[in-house]
Structure 1
Amino acid sequence: MYLEIITPDQRVFAGEVISAQFPGVKGSFQVLNNHAPLISLLERGKVTIRTTQGEQAVTVDGGVVEVLDNKITVLAEAVLS
């Protein structure tokens, strides 16, 4: 499954992932391969990305996530360091 995380000024992550966990406004949720279509608001928090190379995290300052046909698109307000 393909994940892309972008902000108004940069592409933060783009690539194949095994799973991704998101800070939804109504609680944390995880997306795996063949997930049902979904659009959700994100609150400030950690997006955990699991790939074949390991796990990494990106902290977003809110945004929107869309899941459709094994592609996840995150439009983040900003990425915090």
Structure 2
Amino acid sequence: MSETFYIEILTPDRKFFWGDVETVIVKTPSGEMGILKDHMPIVVVIDIGPIKIKKDGEWIDAVLSQGFMEVKQNKAIILVDTAEWPDEIDINRANAAKERAEERILRKASQTEYIQSKAALAKAMARLAAGRKGK
């Protein structure tokens, strides 16, 4: 008997990942959440950060931006703004984005800019962490 379920990770630009997997671990606003076969139906917010996918006994890592995940009937659909494999991440570009976000946070221009800068910083930090693992 198979202990897998089907997953699709979609961005506006591409179908990032699809197939049968044993486990998925995503970051949510309340912490990490793991999904296994026969998980109860749920819709959850995905936070900027890593995703860990166990396929054929091997762990695969990637980075997701914000989005949503729906799980029902042994199928998970993840819709996010961006998804990247570690080898797709340009470390220099991620470092530059981190520095820009930190500078904007220090300026304290407006609440909207602060929130946007915190999100940009979180994305840059997640990309840097994944990119370093992939190298």
Normalising to structure 2: TM-score of the pair?
Answer: 0.58
How many residues align? The count is 81
| Percent of aligned positions that are identical | 26
- After superposing on structure 2, the runs of 4+ consecutive aligned residues of structure 1 that deviate more than 2 Å are none
RMSD: 1.0
Structure 2 segments unaligned to the other structure (5+ residues): 90-135
Which of structures 1 and 2 has the larger relative contact order (alpha carbons within 8 angstroms, sep 6+)? 1
C-alpha distance after superposition, 1:33-57 (max 9, x if no partner): 0000000001100110001151101
Aligned twin of 1:27? 31
Aligned twin of 1:14? 18
Structure 1 segments unaligned to the other structure (5+ residues): none
Q: If you compute each CA radius of gyration, which structure gives the higher value, 1 or 2?
A: 2
Aligned twin of 2:59? 55
C-alpha distance after superposition, 1:2-38 (max 9, x if no partner): 0100100101100000010010111111000000000
Equivalent in 38, 44, 49 of residue 40 of structure 1: 44
Q: Give the letter for the 1:62 counterpart.
A: Q
- Normalized per residue, the structure richer in helix is 2
